[in-house]
Amino acid sequence: MGRTKVVGSAGRYGARYGASLRKRIRIIEEKMREPHRCPRCFTPGKLKRVSIGIWKCKKCGFTFAGGAWIPRTTMGKTFEIEEKRV
């Protein structure tokens, strides 16, 4: 039990990834809980899930395809940054 404490919610990934990577996953997951930003006007908290995988910004009306529950652009950008640091 003590081992999973260090990486928090990322503990479910087990030993497949390094400890430092699992810590990064936890940081990413914490970011995911923040209001999602529109990829066009960057307004946070205005994205509405129209249907599974379809997101619409209530501010600028921008509609785009993303993840089922999380706008993929937000995650994709995060992972892109993280990969460059590896």
| Contact present, 54 and 65 (Cβ < 8 Å) | yes
Q: Is 19 in the site for Zn ion (CB under 5 A)?
A: no
Q: In terms of C-beta density within 10 A (0-12 exposed, 13-18 middle, 19 or more buried), how is residue 47 classed?
A: buried
Least gap, CB of 42 to Zn ion (angstroms): 7
Any contact of residue 47 with Zn ion (CB under 5 A)?
A: no
| Binding-site size, Zn ion (CB under 5 A) | 7
Q: Which is nearer to Zn ion, 3 or 58 (CB)?
A: 58
Could you say whether residue 41 binds Zn ion (CB under 5 A)? yes
List 17, 62, 64, 79, residue binding Zn ion (CB under 5 A): 62
Q: Which token pair is 20? A: 């430092």
Query: CA-CA distances (angstroms) from residue 13 to 26, 37, 52, 56?
Result: 10, 27, 25, 31
**Least separation in angstroms between CB 43 and Zn ion:** 5
